């Protein structure tokens, strides 16, 4: 079909070879300026909205709510039941977020299908479609639980090295072609 | 003739059906040939201009198609019910009488497989593209329950230590060669 | 002569600094960011579904009124400000005042047209 291949994932050189203090500063900036794209699907969306409002504000954690769309967000909070009909849209919107992106699965339904695990049209967990960083259990979780989940995500980002995600050290050809199980030595017993 | 009891009795008499008081609201069973006529009676003469919902019930031997209408001036419910056999089920469309029934009939069609001749377009409404089968029929196998048994208590008092140890049984209606452990286990 | 080129040199340096700032920001971003393009990421955003239709849409010519009202007021302001700083200086007499009056009269005709069309009242 003549489709041009897209370039491999890469990371900018300053971020890849940054020494630890620089990486600390970069992670600090990234984790305290998350823009959240609320993928609100069901009741957990109401709890998410409650967390964004005055009493349990998550904007004080740096998470600025309600990015206008996936292109302006770096955190996606999947809150609510993911039905099989909605699953491709979740996948597409996750793909359309710019790197680096993080996903919080909020509530039992998006963790594992929740109370509707046995339905004929529920995706049993959004981690079947997108990679999830933090799971917040509950049905629905309290707003404080989402705040805790966001803090855990921030701790995860603080410990992160972007180079491992985007420019992982690739095994050499010799490592890839080596046999998995070494052949038994000559004369060895059993 | 006034009030739900009167309208129900009148409708039952006219269509050759039966009226009964079910938990405080009147249900009229009509034969399927008189379905549109019954809906017209409900809308015009009984004053039930508000169409609430239309759906079906899978009773083991037949499908029962139920429509719920409400009278705004006199404030009473009326349930209209008809029965169709399971093979080739077809109920005349209600869209001629209540336009709002269009989507309800689409959903009933995709969930139960009941045909509504006269409907402007019976396209699937809620199920994803490529979904096979009619999920709300009793013979539709609930795959998730076959793969994993119901984790909670089935009888009161069982929670905490599970039910009495018994051979793991398949949910009712699942054929023997179905599921991760085929062969009757 | 020196003064003349001097003031333009200041503008040029400012423009260069502006360009350098923007280029520097983009370069820093390039050096820091990860890039992992996929086919779906490059698709047009349409709420998670495949985009339909062309990217172009028709604008309506009836919105020309807003365009020319903008011109009336913005051009008005752009010319009034420098004129206001110098018209009272010696050497600029009645002629300057009348000239600006004519200019404003022309713009007022445009405004009167808009008023007559009814676009200046709330619907």
CB contact under 8 A, C37 and A7: yes
Q: Is the pLDDT of residue B20 over 50?
A: yes
Residue B128 sits at the chain A interface (C-beta within 8 Å): yes
What is the pLDDT, as a whole number, of residue B111? Answer: 94
Comparing A47 with C72, the larger pLDDT belongs to: A47
Question: How far A189 CA lies from chain C's nearest CA (Å)?
Answer: 51
CA distance C78 to C90: 23
Cβ–Cβ under 8 Å, residues A91 and A129: yes
Instruction: Report the DSSP pairing between strands A10-11 and C34-35.
Output: antiparallel
Question: How far B32 CA lies from chain A's nearest CA (Å)?
Answer: 30
Contact present, A and C (at least 3 Cβ pairs less than 8 Å):
yes
CB contact under 8 A, C37 and A26: no
Residue A89 sits at the chain B interface (C-beta within 8 Å): no
Residue C44 sits at the chain A interface (C-beta within 8 Å): no
CB contact under 8 A, A121 and B142: no
CB contact under 8 A, B140 and A120: yes
Nearest to C86 by CA among C97, C75, C77: C97
ipTM above 0.90, yes or no: no
What is the pLDDT, as a whole number, of residue B181? Answer: 64
Number of residues assigned to chain A: 190
Six-digit token string for C61:
């010519």
Residues of chain C with pLDDT > 70, as a percent, come to 99
Cβ–Cβ under 8 Å, residues A39 and A78: yes
| Residues of A whose CB is below 8 A from B151 | none
CB contact under 8 A, A12 and C31: yes
pLDDT band at C101 (very low <50, low <70, confident <90, very high): very high
CB contact under 8 A, B143 and A84: no
What is the pLDDT, as a whole number, of residue B167? Answer: 56
Average pLDDT value over all residues in chain A: 89
Residue among A98, A100, A129, A131 with most chain C CBs within 10 A, to mutate: A98
| Residues of A whose CB is below 8 A from B144 | 113, 117-120, 124
Q: Which residue has the tokens 């509530």?
A: A107
Residue B154 sits at the chain A interface (C-beta within 8 Å): no
Q: Is the pLDDT of residue C57 over 90?
A: no
| Residues of C whose CB is below 8 A from A99 | 33-36
Q: Which residue of A has its CA nearest to B148?
A: A118
Comparing A66 with C26, the larger pLDDT belongs to: C26
Residue B173 sits at the chain A interface (C-beta within 8 Å): no
Average pLDDT value over all residues in chain B: 85
Residues of chain B with pLDDT > 90, as a percent, come to 49
What is the pLDDT, as a whole number, of residue A135? Answer: 96
Cβ–Cβ under 8 Å, residues B98 and B51: yes
State the pTM of this model. Answer: 0.77
| Residues of A whose CB is below 8 A from B128 | 83-85, 121
Model confidence pLDDT, tens digit, residues A104-132? 999 999 999 999 988 899 999 999 999 99
Model confidence pLDDT, tens digit, residues B37-61? 999 999 999 989 999 999 999 998 9
Cα atoms in the 13 Å half-sphere on the side-chain side of A53: 8
pLDDT band at C5 (very low <50, low <70, confident <90, very high): confident
pLDDT band at B185 (very low <50, low <70, confident <90, very high): very low
| Residues of A whose CB is below 8 A from B127 | 85, 121
Q: Which among A10, A13, A93 is the nearest to C48, CB-wise?
A: A93
Model confidence pLDDT, tens digit, residues B79-90? 999 999 998 899
Q: Which residue of C has its CA nearest to A162?
A: C34
Residue among B110, B125, B127, B146 with most chain A CBs within 10 A, to mutate: B127
Cβ–Cβ under 8 Å, residues A15 and A26: yes
Q: What is the mean pLDDT of residues C30-34?
A: 89
Of A180-189, C49-58, C104-113, which has the strongest mean pLDDT?
C104-113
pLDDT band at B144 (very low <50, low <70, confident <90, very high): confident
Instruction: Quote the strand ranges of A56-171, DSSP E.
Output: 75-79, 102-106, 134-136
Cβ–Cβ under 8 Å, residues B176 and B184: yes
Residue B140 sits at the chain A interface (C-beta within 8 Å): yes
CA distance A44 to A142: 9
Long-range own/partner contacts, residues C85-93 (CB < 8 A, 24 or more apart):
none
| Residues of A whose CB is below 8 A from C41 | 95-98
Model confidence pLDDT, tens digit, residues B157-182? 766 655 555 556 666 667 777 766 66
Nearest to A32 by CA among A155, A139, A117: A155
- Those of residues 10-39 in C touching chain A at CB distance below 8 A are 28-39
CA distance C89 to A70: 57
Count the Cβ atoms, other than its own, within 10 Å of residue A172: 9
CB contact under 8 A, A118 and B127: no
Nearest to A132 by CA among A98, A170, A102: A102
CA distance A91 to C43: 13
Question: How far C55 CA lies from chain A's nearest CA (Å)?
Answer: 18
CB contact under 8 A, A120 and B145: no
Q: Is the pLDDT of residue A188 over 60?
A: no
Measured distance between the N- and C-terminal CA atoms of chain A, rounded to whole angstroms: 55
Mutual orientation of helices A43-52 and A143-158 as an angle, nearest 10°? 70
Q: What is the mean pLDDT of residues A70-77?
A: 93
Comparing B119 with A173, the larger pLDDT belongs to: B119
Six-digit token string for B25:
């609201």
pLDDT band at C59 (very low <50, low <70, confident <90, very high): confident
Q: Which residue of A has its CA nearest to C29?
A: A12
pLDDT band at B135 (very low <50, low <70, confident <90, very high): very high
Q: What is the mean pLDDT of residues A32-43?
A: 91
Cβ–Cβ under 8 Å, residues C40 and A93: no
Cα A60-A65-A66 angle, rounded to 5 deg? 175
Q: Is the pLDDT of residue B184 over 70?
A: no
Sequence-ordered alpha helix ranges (H) in chain C: 2-32, 64-86, 94-117
Cβ–Cβ under 8 Å, residues A67 and A37: yes
Cβ–Cβ under 8 Å, residues B26 and B77: yes
Nearest to B40 by CA among B87, B101, B103, B88: B101
Q: Is the pLDDT of residue A19 over 70?
A: yes
Question: How far A88 CA lies from chain C's nearest CA (Å)?
Answer: 7
Q: What is the mean pLDDT of residues C43-60?
A: 86
């Amino acid at each position: 079909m003549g489709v041009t291949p897209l370039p491999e994932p890469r990371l900018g050189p300053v971020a890849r070879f940054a020494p630890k203090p620089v990486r600390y500063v970069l992670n600090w900036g990234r984790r305290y300026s998350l823009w959240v794209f609320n993928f609100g699907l069901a009741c957990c969306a109401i709890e998410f909205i409650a967390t964004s409002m005055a009493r349990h504000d998550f904007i004080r954690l740096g998470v600025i709510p309600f990015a206008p769309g996936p292109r302006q967000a770096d955190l996606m909070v999947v809150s609510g039941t993911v039905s099989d009909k909605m699953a491709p849209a979740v996948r597409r919107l996750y793909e359309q977020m710019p790197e680096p992106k993080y996903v919080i699965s909020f509530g039992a339904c998006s963790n594992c299908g929740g109370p509707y695990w046995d339905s004929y049209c529920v995706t049993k967990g959004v981690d079947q479609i997108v990679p999830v960083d933090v799971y917040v259990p509950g049905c629905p979780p309290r707003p404080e639980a989402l705040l805790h989940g966001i803090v855990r995500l921030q701790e995860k980002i603080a410990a992160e090295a972007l180079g491992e995600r985007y420019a992982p050290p690739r095994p050499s050809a010799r490592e890839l072609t080596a046999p998995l199980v070494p052949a038994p030595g000559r004369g060895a017993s059993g | 003739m006034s009030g739900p009891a009167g309208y129900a009795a009148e409708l039952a008499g006219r269509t050759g059906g039966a009226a009964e008081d079910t938990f405080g609201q009147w249900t009229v069973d009509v034969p399927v040939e008189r379905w549109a006529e019954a809906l017209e009676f409900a809308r015009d003469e009984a004053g039930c201009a508000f169409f609430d919902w239309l759906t079906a019930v899978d009773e083991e031997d037949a499908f029962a198609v139920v429509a719920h209408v409400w009278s705004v001036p006199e404030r009473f419910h009326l349930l209209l019910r008809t029965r169709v056999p399971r093979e080739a089920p077809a109920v005349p469309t209600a869209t001629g009488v209540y336009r709002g029934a269009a989507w309800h009939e689409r959903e009933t069609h995709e969930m139960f497989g009941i045909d509504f001749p006269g409907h402007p377009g019976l396209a699937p409404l809620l199920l994803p593209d490529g979904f096979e089968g009619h999920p709300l029929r009793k013979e539709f196998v609930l795959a998730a329950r076959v793969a994993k048994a119901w984790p909670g208590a089935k009888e009161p008092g069982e929670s905490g230590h599970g039910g009495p140890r018994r051979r793991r049984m398949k949910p009712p209606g699942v054929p023997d060669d179905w599921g991760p452990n085929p062969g009757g286990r | 002569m020196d003064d003349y080129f001097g003031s333009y040199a200041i503008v040029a340096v400012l423009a260069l600094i502006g360009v350098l700032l923007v280029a520097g920001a983009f370069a820093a971003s390039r050096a820091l960011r990860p890039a992992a393009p996929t086919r779906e990421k490059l698709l047009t955003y349409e709420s998670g579904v495949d985009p339909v239709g062309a990217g172009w849409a028709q604008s309506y010519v009836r919105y020309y009124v807003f365009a020319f009202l903008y011109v009336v007021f913005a051009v008005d302001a752009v010319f009034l400000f420098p004129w206001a700083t110098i018209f009272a200086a010696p050497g600029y007499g009645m002629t300057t005042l009348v000239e600006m009056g004519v200019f404003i009269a022309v713009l007022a005709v445009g405004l009167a047209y808009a008023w007559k069309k009814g676009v200046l009242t709330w619907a």
